[in-house]
């Protein structure tokens, strides 16, 4: 579904150039849920931006096998990036409006999503009136609104309190299972990575590269039982160890 071969990215930085991503060969199957962990600056955001086509590769190729989808990827940015002049509802509608979706159809989708991310009652609020976590949830709803086959999420829950975060994790798993989307999610939490992923990519810095990938075969649907599963704890411990080594 997503195949990268020899994918590299370097940035020019006052005269010099820094390698943000060393050649990366990887294949992500359709319908996978890939968690990506790694220390700050190891190129996680860069990897997602390359897949989304927001950044041009310095070398190598990316293939997205998404057929005829006009907008193959939805993206949840590290900061929400809502349009400040639009209400929550209109921000979530934005992808639909610009795709020419019928108004009543759009309204139906948007109210479902608002319910889903728990923003009921804030439909008409402006982004400046929301907390960081609420903005982030609006951004998640926006990324889902035009139903892209690939969903890229860059630390989507970093500004959300623990309880909401767990709720959103479970919602995300449910959406994933229901829709069969391919999801890539960057996180700093190894627990979250293990809990959500069907696969975990561990990256290491200077230069950013893929250190290891784990296939996670914890059973689905996941829930409180998963968090008691010894296999889960084993994976979390291994990931934590990997992270320590990358420092």
Partner 1 sequence: MMSRFRPVFEYGVALALLTVAWWYASGPMGIPKYLLPSPQSTVSTLWDSLVSGELWPHLWFTVRNILLGLGIGSVAGIAVAYLLYKMPRLSTFLDGPLVVFQTAPKIALAPLFVVWFGLGLTAKIVLIVSLVFFPVLMGALAGFRSIDSRMHDLAKLLKLNPFSLFWRIDLMAALPGIFVGLKIGAVQALVGAILAEWISGSDGLGYLMTFASATYKTPLLFGAVLLTSLLGIALHGLLGVIEGRLLSWKVQDGR
Ligand X SMILES: Nc1ncnc2c1ncn2[C@@H]1O[C@H](COP(=O)(O)OP(=O)(O)OP(=O)(O)O)[C@@H](O)[C@H]1O
- Residue 83 as a binder of partner 1 (CB under 8 A): the answer is yes
Q: How far is the CB of 24 from ligand X (least distance, A)?
A: 12
- 85: number of Cβ within 10 Å: 10
131 binds partner 1 (CB under 8 A): no
Q: How far apart are CA 238 and CA 240, in angstroms?
A: 5
Tell me the window of 10-18, 78-86, 169-177, 180-188 that interacts with partner 1 (CB under 8 A): 78-86
73 near partner 1, judged by CB under 8 A? yes
Residue 77 contacts partner 1 per CB under 8 A: yes
Nearer to partner 1, 37 or 139 (CB): 139
Instruction: Pick one of 54, 101, 175, 218: the residue that binds partner 1 (CB under 8 A).
Output: 54
- Nearest C-alpha neighbor of 44 from the set 236, 204, 243: 204
89's tokens: 């509802």
Specify the residue, 43 or 133, whose C-beta has the smaller distance to ligand X: 43
Residue in 121, 212, 115, 131 with CA at minimum distance from that of residue 171? 115
DSSP helix, strand, coil percent of the chain (3-state; round to 5): 40, 25, 35
202 contact, one of partner 1, Mg ion, ligand X, none, CB 5-8 Å limit per kind: none
Name the 3-class secondary structure at 12: strand
Token pair 């992270």: residue: 243
- Segment lying near ligand X (by CB under 6 A), choices 12-20, 26-34, 136-144, 157-165: 12-20
Partner interacting with residue 221 (select from ligand X, Mg ion, partner 1, none; CB below 5-8 Å by kind)? none
Residue linked to tokens 């960057």: 186
Taking the CA of residue 114 as centre, how many other CA atoms within 13 Å lie in the half-sphere pointing to its CB? 20
- Sites of contact with partner 1 (CB under 8 A): 49, 52-54, 70-71, 73-75, 77, 79, 81, 83-86, 94-95, 98-99, 126-129
């Amino acid at each position: 579904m997503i195949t990268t071969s020899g994918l590299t990215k370097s940035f020019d930085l006052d005269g010099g150039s820094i390698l943000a991503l060393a050649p990366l060969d990887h294949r992500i199957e359709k319908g996978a849920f890939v968690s990506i962990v790694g220390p700050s600056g190891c190129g996680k955001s860069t990897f997602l931006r390359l897949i989304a086509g927001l950044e041009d590769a310095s070398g190598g190729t990316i293939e997205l096998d998404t057929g005829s989808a006009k907008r193959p990827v939805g993206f949840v940015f590290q900061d929400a990036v809502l349009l400040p002049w639009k209400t929550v509802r209109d921000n979530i509608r934005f992808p639909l409006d610009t795709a020419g979706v019928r108004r009543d159809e759009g309204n139906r989708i948007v109210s479902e999503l608002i319910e889903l991310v728990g923003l009921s009652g804030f439909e008409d609020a402006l982004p400046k009136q929301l907390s960081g976590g609420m903005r982030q949830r609006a951004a998640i709803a926006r990324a889902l609104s035009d139903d892209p086959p690939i969903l890229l999420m860059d630390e989507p829950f970093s500004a959300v309190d623990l309880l909401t975060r767990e709720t959103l994790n479970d919602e995300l798993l449910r959406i994933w299972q229901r829709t069969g989307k391919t999801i890539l999610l960057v996180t700093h939490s190894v627990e979250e990575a293990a809990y959500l992923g069907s696969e975990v990519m561990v990256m290491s810095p200077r230069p950013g590269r893929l250190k290891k990938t784990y296939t996670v075969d914890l059973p689905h649907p996941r829930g409180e039982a998963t968090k008691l599963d010894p296999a889960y704890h084993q994976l979390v411990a291994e990931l934590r160890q990997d992270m320590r080594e990358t420092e």
